[in-house]
Structure 1
Amino acid sequence: MDRDQQWATLVRFLARGEPALRIGLLSGRRRHGKSYLLRALTEAAGGLYVTAVQEEGRRPAQRRFAAALARFAGLPASAVELDDWQQILTTALELVERHRSSGTAPLLVIDELPYLLDHSPEIPSLLQHLYDDSQLGRTPGGRLILCGSAMSVMTELLSGSRALRGRVALDMRLGPFDYRQAAALWGVADPEVALRLHAVLGGAPGYRQLVQDDPPATVEQFGSWVQENLLDPDLGLFTRSETEHLLREDPRITRRTLYYDILTAVASGAGTPAKIGSMIGRERTALTHALDVLESAGYLRRDQDMLRQRNTVITVTDPIIRFNQLITVPYSDLLERHEAAAVWQASTATFAAQILGPHVEELARTWTRLFATREVFDGQPLGIVGSAAVHDGAGRARHEVDVLALAAGEQPRVRGGRIALIGEAKATAQRRTPGDLTRLERIRAVLAEDGHDTGDAVLAIFSLTGFSPDLRLLADQRDDVRLIDVNTLYGRAEP
């Protein structure tokens, strides 16, 4: 399911261009389905798929690669003996060229390339020479796709004066499913259950195969499901084990205690280097490298205010890491004694305030970015979506705007730009009231006073628990107000 756009791009990569060698990169976090996608592509194209193994030495890796070449050629695994990477790579390209399917370019896929680079860092330079010689017709052509989960390593392949810079025609990053696709993958019919499931696991499709139980059917079953599937140290998806696997993917993360401390601080609400340093007892300058590593690896994200220049806000990108740092890590000894029920009961407030609340805000921005154009604005495209802080001098207040969408073509932090949507998102137990609409009206007025064009701005209220009757009545009477409940977020009702 999904991946239609990525599949079409990969097919074009195989079908178009000169017969000379063309190189593509595919990167993405563990569990996002990279290998699944590339295996399907290789099978469809009649190509050769080879994967590296973590912590395997140079000679075992070469023997494994040579055995894969032999099997592809229909020979016994021991029939091919090569101990030189240039010979191995050249032979692989020659073999796929000989065994190519009609109507497609020869295809060689090397999965988990970073594992090979641990002991054979010369491989990119060898590929550079093969590429350059192929352009002159001296070595085989075809298509080569390099894949890896270590985001920093894959990104580094194209940086500065690296060997493959300027020689890669495809640079694809495979992200998680969006929250609606994730609900379809899990087969969850209840949007409230789907939202909570996404708040702890995100959209990584690989988790579906790791969970032993069917997803919960009701919100009441959700807590038991979490206890039995995510908080059991004997299971493969125990969140502590999964987080350790994720961090181990990046070779730069060696002192994992520091990285754990940073992730915990950010998950707890420390959104700047100064606040993170204060929470974990370190100077902010000592955190620069670790923060950069976590950001480039895709585990942290820096979000800039949409309206004004100020410090970026740092957040945890991956829901399962956030869940681990806030719930699993603080109660690790209890979980080792299989006291998952007690842990979940003690964590109810944390889950509601620090996981579910921020997640609803993020889904509100995602809905605005992906679905509001079609479901609210009649196909009129929106611009950049984010959040902002609005200073109300006259009202002596500072308003945090959860969702702010610019009109198409407008740039953030430029006075006078058109604002298309101003939104507030809440996951509290109380239904939203006309007071929330009054607050958004005040924010819209302050933005207009500051020189922004808010004449066509829609006011959107997102709520996990619904809206009071008087607020619904007000919204029904106005064209500039939208009430977005969980059903609307999941496309189950008209906004």
Structure 2
Amino acid sequence: MSKPSHLLARDAEWSTLTAFVTHPDPHLRLGVVSGRRRVGKSYLLRALADSMDGLYVSAVAEEGTVTARRRFADDLARYAGVSSDLFRDDAGWEPLLDSAISLTTRRRGTGGLLVIDELPYWMTHSPELPGLLQLLYDRSQTGHGHDGGRVIVCGSAMSVMNDLLSGTKALRGRAVVDIRLRPFDVSTAARHWGIDDPATALRLHATLGGSPGYRNLTSAPSPRTPQEFDTWLPATVLDPGQALFSRSEAEYLLREDPRFTGSALHYAIINAVANGATSPAKIGGLLERERSSLTRPIEMLASSGYLGQSTDPLWERRPVITVADPIIRFHNLITVPKRDLIETGGSARAWRESRPTFVSRILGPHFEECSREWLRRRTVPSLGDGMSTVSSTVVNDRSGRARHEIDVIALDRRSGRATVGLIGEAKATVVRRGPSDLERLDRLKETLGDQGHDVTNAKLAIFSLEGFHPDLVAIARRRGDVLLVDLPSLLGSTEPTVLPG
């Protein structure tokens, strides 16, 4: 089943979902799709249901169980082309689910598809729903229920969706597909917003991330240049009267998950991380709380996608904690410090005063992460196979008195010794990178070798926001082991300046 032309990217997800639906298994099959709000889950699943002639139903927030079941019955009736009177008003969830699976399989055979979007809304008043799906699944497996049928449940409340398949929960071991839909990368997001200028695309992605739903929250045209971005941002993300206002969106995203509703502690943790606390101890210090009391809420925020935790791949130290969602990061670093000015009509001034913070604490780290993500998605000639990890790391110099950050490292670790495939630097500065940057990478390569890691075939990479000095390009061409990636290359519009030899 070919992917619809209006569906941007999502090739892997589409392939997985269509294979799930068309699998020849004669029994009922269950799948789970999750992801944060506005990431495009509903758009993807509606396209799937339309392509497969399936039934798509969506739960509604703050709707009672009787109204929800009646709405479900109306959806069933429309799908079957019959009067809704044929479904009793007092029909419970089990007969409604049973009827939905029967109708879809009658139309499509074993591949009949039922999609239930935003299941957590229904679970607030009907927590038995996963158990009922388990019951229907088990009956089918033992020959006492439906022949065939495919059911996909979806939701944005990540803690609820993660819990569906955990421990002894009803769907544990029964769902054969578990997709967590990710935001678009910077290149795909640029296409979605219709932005051709790489510098503008990076700034927008650093602010909003790759969730495609944000484009529908503004009536302003997409910015086309960095200068237009400086006008567009105060009129949208920093305007309290707009739906895209970062404070409204950050609070909305956290309220989406019932486990975080009204929790001042979760807000405080995110704010502490945004302001530089990268470990539980540092977060506890800022909040004046014991580190042990923060373990559970930090884990919940991480599993729900609000915080990121990355372990140093060389030294396997404790994870470094970061704010994972760009708009929440932007809100805490830009909007919160300028709240009074913004709320009194000074958004343009607030943005002018905040641009140094944006460049150093948002654009710079985001460019580094986009560089790592580019490498994860791309096969680089001569890098070699088996580079299982792309991350950042910190190394000490030979004297042990200085620490050096490596922005991008690709490696494979076995038995405590790493085989390093690439060592890279990613800088979002306003100057072009030159030979001194390559010299620094050479020194870091030597240091890693002195510490016992295999750097025999390691390549060197420099990612630059503003391009490269001609002297560096000439040296890289002579050496043949250097990869130079500028911003257009990062977005896929051009090839890297130098490919490894």
TM-score range, shorter chain: over 0.9
Rounded to whole Å, the distance in 1 between the matches of 2:258 and 2:382 is 45
Cross-structure match for 1:488: 489
- Please tell me the residue identity of whatever aligns with 2:435: P
Cross-structure match for 1:472: 473
Q: Could you list the runs of 4 or more consecutive aligned residues of structure 1 that deviate by over 4 angstroms after TM superposition? A: 378-381
Aligned residue runs from structure 1 range 34-113, under 5 A: 34-80=41-87, 81-98=89-106, 100-101=107-108, 105-113=111-119
Rounded to whole Å, the distance in 2 between the matches of 1:491 and 1:48 is 37
Cross-structure match for 1:172: 179
Match for residue 393 of structure 2 among 382, 388, 391 = 388
Cross-structure match for 2:309: 302
Rounded to whole Å, the distance in 1 between the matches of 2:465 and 2:142 is 61
Contact 1:151 1:296 in 2 (8 A): yes
Cross-structure match for 2:4: none
Distance 1:466 1:232, change over 3 A: same
Match for residue 227 of structure 1 among 234, 239, 256 = 234
Rounded to whole Å, the distance in 1 between the matches of 2:275 and 2:441 is 27
Match for residue 130 of structure 1 among 136, 153, 157 = 136
Rounded to whole Å, the distance in 2 between the matches of 1:56 and 1:89 is 18
Rounded to whole Å, the distance in 1 between the matches of 2:48 and 2:336 is 39
How far apart are residue 50 of structure 1 and its match? 1.0
- Please tell me the residue identity of whatever aligns with 2:328: I
How far apart are residue 7 of structure 1 and its match? 1.3
Cross-structure match for 2:17: 10
Rounded to whole Å, the distance in 1 between the matches of 2:184 and 2:441 is 31
Aligned: 1:116 with 2:122: yes
Cross-structure match for 2:413: 411
Rounded to whole Å, the distance in 2 between the matches of 1:207 and 1:442 is 43
Aligned residue for 1:418, secondary structure, equals strand
Aligned: 1:463 with 2:464: yes
Rounded to whole Å, the distance in 2 between the matches of 1:45 and 1:154 is 24
Contact 1:305 1:388 in 2 (8 A): yes
Aligned residue for 1:119, secondary structure, equals coil
Cross-structure match for 1:207: 214
Distance 1:401 1:228, change over 3 A: same
Aligned residue runs from structure 1 range 241-280, under 5 A: 241-280=248-287
Rounded to whole Å, the distance in 2 between the matches of 1:151 and 1:172 is 12
How far apart are residue 456 of structure 1 and its match? 1.1
TM-score of the two chains, using structure 1 as the length reference: 0.94
Match for residue 407 of structure 2 among 402, 417, 431 = 402
Aligned residue for 1:222, secondary structure, equals helix
Rounded to whole Å, the distance in 1 between the matches of 2:440 and 2:152 is 52
Q: Comparing 444-453 with 386-395, which one deviates more in the overlay?
A: 386-395
Rounded to whole Å, the distance in 2 between the matches of 1:349 and 1:490 is 24
Aligned residue for 1:477, secondary structure, equals helix
Cross-structure match for 1:368: 375
Rounded to whole Å, the distance in 2 between the matches of 1:73 and 1:431 is 63
1:152-185: CA deviations, max 9, x gaps? Answer: 1111111111111111111111111111111111
Aligned residue for 1:439, secondary structure, equals helix
- Please tell me the residue identity of whatever aligns with 1:11: T
- Please tell me the residue identity of whatever aligns with 1:274: A
Cross-structure match for 1:22: 29
Contact 1:268 1:354 in 2 (8 A): no
Aligned residue for 1:232, secondary structure, equals coil
Contact 2:383 2:459 in 1 (8 A): no
- Please tell me the residue identity of whatever aligns with 1:455: T
1:402-454: CA deviations, max 9, x gaps? Answer: 11101xxx227x54331011011111223323222222111111111111111
How far apart are residue 94 of structure 1 and its match? 1.8
Cross-structure match for 1:358: 365
Rounded to whole Å, the distance in 2 between the matches of 1:48 and 1:491 is 37
Aligned residue for 2:479, secondary structure, equals coil
How far apart are residue 468 of structure 1 and its match? 3.0
Contact 2:314 2:418 in 1 (8 A): no
Distance 1:227 1:78, change over 3 A: farther
How far apart are residue 79 of structure 1 and its match? 4.2
Distance 1:7 1:269, change over 3 A: same
How far apart are residue 318 of structure 1 and its match? 1.1
Rounded to whole Å, the distance in 2 between the matches of 1:331 and 1:64 is 44
Rounded to whole Å, the distance in 1 between the matches of 2:384 and 2:443 is 28
Contact 2:383 2:421 in 1 (8 A): no
Match for residue 313 of structure 1 among 320, 331, 346 = 320
Rounded to whole Å, the distance in 2 between the matches of 1:287 and 1:17 is 47
1:255-313: CA deviations, max 9, x gaps? Answer: 33322222122122211111122223333222222211110111111100010131210
1:324-368: CA deviations, max 9, x gaps? Answer: 111112222322222210110121111011101111111111111
Contact 2:425 2:461 in 1 (8 A): yes
Aligned residue for 2:160, secondary structure, equals helix
1:49-89: CA deviations, max 9, x gaps? Answer: 11111111222211211222222222344542234111221
Rounded to whole Å, the distance in 2 between the matches of 1:354 and 1:299 is 17
Rounded to whole Å, the distance in 1 between the matches of 2:419 and 2:397 is 19
